[in-house]
Amino acid sequence: MMDFSFLNLIGQPAMALDSNLKILGINGHAKKRFLDIARISIQENDNLTNKLHNSSFQEIYKVFIQCILKMNKEQIETINHQIFLTIDLSIQLHIKINKVENTFFYLITSSNITQQANRSTKLRIRYEEQLDVFRNLFDLAPIGLAIKDLEGGFFKVNQGLSHITGYTKEEIIHLPLNKIFPNSNNQREKDLISVLISQKEDNFKTEREILNVNGDKIIVQESLHIIRDELDQPFICIVSYQDITEERNLQKKLIESRQMEELGKLSGGIAHDFNNMLLPVTLCSDLALQEIEKLNLPLSNEILKFQNYFRKISTAALRAKILIQKLFQYSKTGIYELTPLKLEDEIKKIYHRLKFETPQHIKLILEINDKDLPILGEALGLEQIVENLVTNSFHALSYLPDGIVTIRIFEDFNDAILEIEDNGSGILEKELQNIFTPFYSGQKSSKGQGMGLIVVQTIVHKMNGKLKFYSNPGKGTIFQISFPKLLK
């Protein structure tokens, strides 16, 4: 018969059982454990089933039986199992099948892992708390955040990205990437991440365009961070998206403002020199026409031809003079001397003068919907605004047989509104971004010099007004200027 006295050399509870769960050997540590916890005295040759049934060790007994069945079924020789009995006691069972002298028996040892289990529980609770904090920070962050897999697809996104795009979080995850990122797809994202990983670059920053749910373009700053595991292997990407559309638009406007300021200075200098050079051309052509008339020569074809040449020179010089005047107006950097004006009175004067310049196929209408609209303005500047906008409308209607241009004034809250509306062909979408660019003219007619709207914009700004326009291709255009109404 085998001697199991070696169990006494083990510094933790240990015992040996045969296949019928008869105790072949047990050490003092095990006897004390049974006695302390369940007040059970266990000796050699006792049957474990009889001793543990309906005792405090019943749960351990059930776990033990499950482990034995699993070892026999799966043909495994060793198994470890943790058992949490109470808050103050957790043990780990180690069961091993042994064979000595053709005798099979189960060697069972147990160790008290209460301290380790409590530490593990505290760590798990702390991890869950930190995870909750991370989830809250992730979802409530004021910028867009996303977790991507290494294939470039969205795994999780926050409310910030939903706010930027206008899509729900679920829609962002399932939508094709090119629906949100123009000219992008999963393969591009995957290739970018692969390059970063291969170059050991875990951070990447760029600016991208996003299309929101309404189709509007939004500029975002994208920062991609590759997260690695404890083996330094990449497994996910965290990406942040910050909406910088307003910042970029402000930068663009600042650059345009500086360019316009420089252009204004340059235009003023050119206009001054050009006006000096134009003076003898205008003077000589007019004098030549006068001298021909004084000669009282018969009106031969030669005489008529020369008169026609000089008239063309005079007409071209007159158009050049008008362009120079607009260059001067644009180049003015001083502040207009603003005085109280009645908008309706000034507009009536301008309307009656423009009536005589209106082409026969165009109807010019004046609508005064509200009276007593005092503003701070400059009469000549107001005249230039209306003249330029109405002239542009005349040009746009030059190909229509029944054109209508409406000058309209009315009150909107505390603003006096001036509108110039026509029923022309409207402004093409591709031309919208250029209409306030100096010397740009998108009109079919060759009459425009491309300075009218930039002059209007400059004067409106100096008169503390705001300029808007609405254009519907094929139906017409409305330019709307709002001036702060002068309070009595």
Q: What is the pLDDT of residues 213-224, one digit of tens each?
A: 998 889 999 999
Pair type for strands 362-368 and 403-412: parallel
Fold of the CATH domain 141-243:
Beta-Lactamase (3.30.450)
pLDDT confidence of residue 266: 67
Is the domain defined by 5-113 classed in CATH 3.40.50.620? no
Q: 5-113 and 141-243: same fold?
A: yes
CATH placement of domain 339-484: 3.30.565.10
| Residue boundaries of the structural domains of the chain | 5-113, 141-243, 248-331, 339-484
pLDDT confidence of residue 346: 93
CATH architecture of 248-331: Orthogonal Bundle (1.10)
pLDDT tens readout for residues 3-48:
888 888 888 899 998 888 888 999 999 898 888 877 888 899 988 8
pLDDT confidence of residue 366: 95
DSSP letter at 412 equals E
pLDDT confidence of residue 329: 59
What is this structure's pTM? Answer: 0.43
Determine the Cα–Cα distance for residues 415 and 483; give it in Å rounded to an integer: 6
Contact 334, 313 (CB under 8 A): no
- Please enumerate in sequence order all residues whose Cβ is within 8 A of that of 448, keeping only pairs 6 or more positions apart, or say none: 392, 395, 441
Residue type, 199: Q
Q: One digit per residue, pLDDT tens: the chain, 488 residues? A: 678 888 888 888 999 988 888 889 999 998 988 888 778 888 999 888 888 776 667 777 788 888 888 888 888 889 888 777 666 677 888 888 887 766 778 888 888 877 777 777 777 788 777 778 778 888 888 899 999 888 888 889 999 999 999 999 999 998 888 888 887 777 777 788 888 888 777 888 888 899 999 988 899 999 999 888 877 888 888 999 999 999 988 888 777 677 666 766 666 666 667 777 778 888 888 888 888 888 877 778 888 888 888 888 888 887 777 666 656 655 554 445 788 999 999 999 999 989 888 888 999 999 998 888 999 988 878 988 998 899 888 988 888 888 999 999 999 888 999 999 999 888 776 666 656 665 445 554 445 444 568 778 888 888 889 999 888 888 889 999 999 998 76
Determine the Cα–Cα distance for residues 341 and 486; give it in Å rounded to an integer: 9
- Please enumerate in sequence order all residues whose Cβ is within 8 A of that of 187, keeping only pairs 6 or more positions apart, or say none: 152
DSSP letter at 465 equals -
Which DSSP string do the residues of 111-140 spell out, in sequence order? EE-HHHHHHHHHHHHHHHHHHHHHHHHHHH
pLDDT confidence of residue 446: 45
Q: How far is CA 115 from CA 33, 66, 111, 118, 120, in A?
A: 17, 25, 11, 5, 9
Extract the runs of DSSP E, i.e. beta strands, from 136-280. Answer: 144-148, 154-157, 203-211, 217-228, 234-243
pLDDT confidence of residue 73: 87
Block residue for tokens 């022309």: 424
